[in-house]
Amino acid sequence: MAEEKKFAGYICTGCGIGERLDTAQLETIAKRDGKMQSCKQHELLCSATGVQLIRDDIEAGATHIMIAACSRRAKVEAFNFRNVAVSRANLREGVIWVRPDSADNQETTQDMANDYLRMACAEVRFMTQPSPSGEQDLNKGILVVGGGFTGLTAALEIAAAGYSVHIVEKRGTLGGHAANYYKSIPSRSPYTDPQDTGVEQLIADVMADDRITVHLNSTITKTQGAPGRFNVEIATESGSSSQETFGAIVQATGFNLYDPGVLARYNYANSPDIITNEELEKLALDASGGPIKRPSDGKVVQSVAFLQNVGQNSTAKDELPYHSGIGDLVAIKQAMYFKELNGNCDTTVLFDNLRTPGAAGEDFYRAGQEKMITFSKGRVTEVVPGSALQVKFKDLILNDDATINCDLVVLDVGMMPNTGPDPYAQLAVEEAEDETEREKARALLANAPPSILNLDYRQGTDLPHLKYGFTDSHFICFPYETRRTGIYAAGPQRRPMDMRQAADDAAGAAMKAIQAAENAGRGMAAHPRSGDLSFPRFRKEGCTQCKRCTVECPFGAINEDEKRYPLFNESRCRRCGTCMGACPVRVISFENYSIDTVGQQIKNVEVPEEFEEKPRILVLACENDAYPALDQAGMSGIELNPWARVIPVRCLGSVSLSWVTDSLNSGYDGIVLLGCSKGEDYQCHFVRGSAMAHERMSKVGDTLKTLNLEPERVRVYEVAITDIERAPKLINDMAETVKQIGLSPFKF
């Protein structure tokens, strides 16, 4: 039975709205044009009495609520009403705060408010209150993949929160790289000496916790399902296997070390006394508190050279294009080993760009100087093997060639992420249009590492990568999030980091995994639309099986059924709407966000006839960056052109070309799309949405040409949340463009 909709509107007269606007006129419009069955005014709608006014009407049967007050980003808690559909007209930040308070502006300011009221009423009329899908119950089990320092820390954090944990570790012992460290970089004041790693205690705590199950010598052979119901097959080295179901997953598979053997100038393979920084850790451990001895003949080391940045931050073939960042702190720590264990050992750190990141980095560096560690700026040209090693280098201070003689050379080698094959490379093989493209795609996978998660996603078996192979995530807003909902990355597989940073990462990923499991159990979305109950639905009879939604979904949330129709997975979905924007036949929608909820807002703007000389500019603004920037512009009193009508969208990737063509056909004079930054350093909260929107909109020129309209009438921009002055300027610039090229010929 169809839902019986009962509409109620509310207009706030507080915060200056009643002084600047004719609210009686707004109330009339809400009832007449907006089809609200009732509309009430209140002097402060967000107050206890105002909120109770709305609650009373909901108790009396109202199902669809329109609130005309402040921005939808303000007073979120006050206007959080369960089991009803809610739309909001932004009269404060979006109208009165962006328009000068003068008699000359009164008419156009009121026009803006009238339109925003019509738009909010139209939006709520076409909304359906979403409800949980019931795809899964709450599952309080979390899988941690990787039993190194990061994985152990994450497991303990999860267990401490009352959740059960399974750790899957491919080796026969826990602790990973850190288990073989003598000491770690200090993480507490006074930051003058290396500290104990604490790994032994960490392992003991894990083994003693009855909420934690450890699988050693084990790998994951298959991961099916979704957040709340990940069905995982865990296989042991002996061939046995078990099935477990989890609410969420933390991947903490750590890092591999760069192999310096490919760099001839260091002669790593030609002397046992030329070692990596990790190999030195084992030497220090083996010393058991005595002096460190060199591998070749057991001689106590009297002089050691640390060569920094080996094969890093380079464009040369087979070298790492990035810097691991913590290698200089590691060198300082290890040089202190020799000062502690080898008495007056001569220690030299040879660097070309010394980096000591973190609050304590500078203190630790000074402590190294005080311990008489020599820091020399130079670029290594060759390490000559022999009973006494020679390090030849270019002294970058004296601009001269120099040589260091020493017993031991330690190479600072970089961290490389321990991740599976890039799923987009896997997808390229499947989507290749001919055999030549397919072979090229296969070549990219020829040297790919084995799969870690073995996901059954259509878009590949593992977590998508950044350009250097690190697990992809939004590095500013939600660093632990991956492109696979409910699976969180932590530790050096995300970026090079030390143990303190890895511990923080582990805690963050653990908390996000718990949130994902809890939200999945309630049928709610994960971040950034946490709590959203809506999810995609589609009209099967209208689907052309073009596969654009399955390919373009940034999160692999859409598979295909046996008849090749899209198969939407509610708990994998982030509710970005990218599938809706991708669909050429408009058959995909959400209950509270659809082609109609936005399309009807566009249609319900009053577009004046040509003789009135009042242009209309449609602004589709991303709700995560652009819309907040416009709100802050209003708070700052930055003026916005009165011809603009702003509609927030979940992501620019959700924008349907039909909204653009319909608005142009309706007589809009210009369209501005404001989305997040795209590219390698993207800030799009839905990863690829902004990039795909730019790609789609690049083809709008053909549509404009067909309609005999100027290409300047449609513009797409990248906007950051901090662009408080730039965002309104881009809209005002469009108004100036419309003045120059004239009004749309499609005005009625």
Q: CA-to-CA distance for 349 and 335, rounded, in angstroms?
A: 8
Please say if the pLDDT value at position 2 is more than 70. Answer: no
Q: Is 126 helix (H, G, I), strand (E, B) or coil?
A: coil
Looking at residue 179, what DSSP letter applies? Answer: G
Q: Closest Cα to residue 349, out of 362, 363, 336? A: 336
Q: CA-to-CA distance for 263 and 258, rounded, in angstroms?
A: 11
Question: According to the model, what pLDDT value does residue 211 have?
Answer: 98
Q: CA-to-CA distance for 10 and 328, rounded, in angstroms?
A: 61
What is the tens place of the pLDDT at every residue in 710-745? 999 999 999 999 999 999 999 999 999 999 999 999
Question: According to the model, what pLDDT value does residue 85 have?
Answer: 95
The DSSP line for 346-388 is EEEEEESS----STTHHHHHHHHHHTT-EEEEEEEEEEE-SSS
Q: CA-to-CA distance for 459 and 551, rounded, in angstroms?
A: 7
What is the tens place of the pLDDT at every residue in 426-454? 877 777 777 887 887 787 787 889 999 99
126-146 burial, b if ≥16 CB within 10 A, otherwise e? Answer: bbbbbeeeebbeebbbbbbbb
Question: Are the beta carbons of 416 and 436 closer than 8 angstroms?
Answer: no
Q: CA-to-CA distance for 256 and 269, rounded, in angstroms?
A: 18
Q: Closest Cα to residue 464, out of 478, 485, 447? A: 485
Question: According to the model, what pLDDT value does residue 3 have?
Answer: 63
Question: According to the model, what pLDDT value does residue 611 have?
Answer: 66
Amino acid at position 367, single letter: A
Please say if the pLDDT value at position 133 is more than 80. Answer: no
Domains of the chain, CATH where assigned: 1-129 (3.40.50.2300), 141-254+463-522 (3.50.50.60), 269-414 (3.50.50.60), 537-576 (3.30.70.20), 607-748 (3.40.50)
Percent helix, strand, coil in the chain, to 5, is: 35, 20, 45
Percent of the chain with pLDDT over 90: 79
Q: Closest Cα to residue 226, out of 687, 570, 579? A: 570
The confidence band for 132, taking pLDDT boundaries of 50, 70 and 90, is confident
Looking at residue 573, what DSSP letter applies? Answer: -
What is the tens place of the pLDDT at every residue in 347-364? 999 999 999 987 788 999
Q: How far apart are the first and last CA of the chain?
A: 40
Cis omega before residue 728 (within 30°)? no
Greatest alpha-carbon pair distance for the chain in Å reads: 95
Q: CA-to-CA distance for 527 and 479, rounded, in angstroms?
A: 11
182-218 burial, b if ≥16 CB within 10 A, otherwise e? Answer: bbbbbbeeebeebeebbbeebbebbeebebbebbeeb
Report, as an integer, the average pLDDT of 263-279.
Answer: 97
The contacts of residue 408 (CB under 8 Å, 6+ apart) are: 273, 275, 292, 294, 301, 303, 304, 305, 389
CB neighbours of residue 291 within 10 Å = 15
Cis omega before residue 190 (within 30°)? yes
Question: Are the beta carbons of 360 and 186 closer than 8 angstroms?
Answer: yes
Please say if the pLDDT value at position 1 is more than 50. Answer: no
Phi, psi values for residue 392, rounded to 5°? -95, 135
Question: According to the model, what pLDDT value does residue 46 have?
Answer: 97
Phi, psi values for residue 289, rounded to 5°? 90, -10
Question: Are the beta carbons of 272 and 256 closer than 8 angstroms?
Answer: no
- Say which range, 5-9, 170-174, 306-310, 528-532, has the weakest mean pLDDT: 528-532
Looking at residue 672, what DSSP letter applies? Answer: E
Q: At what angle do helices 726-741 and 626-635 cross, to 10 degrees?
A: 90
Please say if the pLDDT value at position 613 is more than 90. Answer: no
